[in-house]
Amino acid sequence: MNRKIIAIGAEAVLYLEDWLGLTVLVKERLPKGYRRVEFDNYIRRSRTINETRAMIRARELGIHVPRIYDVDPVNMRIRMEYLNGVPLVRLLMSSSNGFNAAIISYIRTMGSYIGVLHRNGIVHGDPTPANVLIVGDKLYIIDFGLSETLGRAPTIQDVRMLYKLALDLNVTLRSLEALRKDQSHFLFAEFLSGYESVLGFELTGRVKAIVNKVRKMVRYSVR
């Protein structure tokens, strides 16, 4: 079976494969030699299953994600639709003279998609522009490898859950700062515009407040 490796990450290798006449993307979680075999197998299997469930649920919610074709929890592989798109991170990095309406729309759509996930109790884990693909006129969210399904919708009273949502958004903000420090607050505001359109003013305000609190704690600890 022909394979073409396209990326090797800390957790998994991604490669293209000819599978049943289709060119599919395979994500295979590799063993970690520094962990006990039983524990390593448990972690890799759990993350493979969690990622698959989160992607299937996201698709049910109307979010564009790659189609899942096959899951192999024994060999820790997911075969999914291969999307030949443009990463949003590339568009942000190449826009040196400001952002056009299309890019702003993509950022807002990304925010609304993360809002849909959060509203339905799903934490993406790594919601950055690097994990957003533009395919044709559609925006796709990819790489749910660090996702967590909480099993309930967020409420104002559920501080623990709101904290998890805030950590997700903090990852987004930090990625924007790393990419475009000069425009990060503008971009995050556009992201939050899409996010708030789904999650609502009150919940969004609470999550934003926790993000600010987390960032202050980090700055204090660094000093």
Catalytic residues, which ones?
126
Contacts of 177 (CB under 8 A, 6+ apart): 184
- Six-digit token pair at 114? 């993360």
**Residue 49 burial (C-beta neighbours within 10 Å; 0-12, 13-18, 19+):** middle
CA distance 187 to 83: 25
* Phi, psi at 132, each rounded to 5°: -125, 130
Taking the alpha carbons at both ends of the chain, their separation in whole angstroms is 53
Q: What is the token pair recorded at 135?
A: 């395919």
| Tokens (6 digits) for 223 | 């000093």
Q: Decide: 176 and 129 in contact? Cβ < 8 Å.
A: yes
Long-range contacts of 161-167 (CB under 8 A, 24+ apart): 161/121, 162/203, 162/206, 162/207, 162/210, 163/210, 164/123, 165/118, 165/123, 165/207, 165/210, 166/207, 166/208, 166/210, 166/211, 166/213, 166/214, 167/123, 167/214
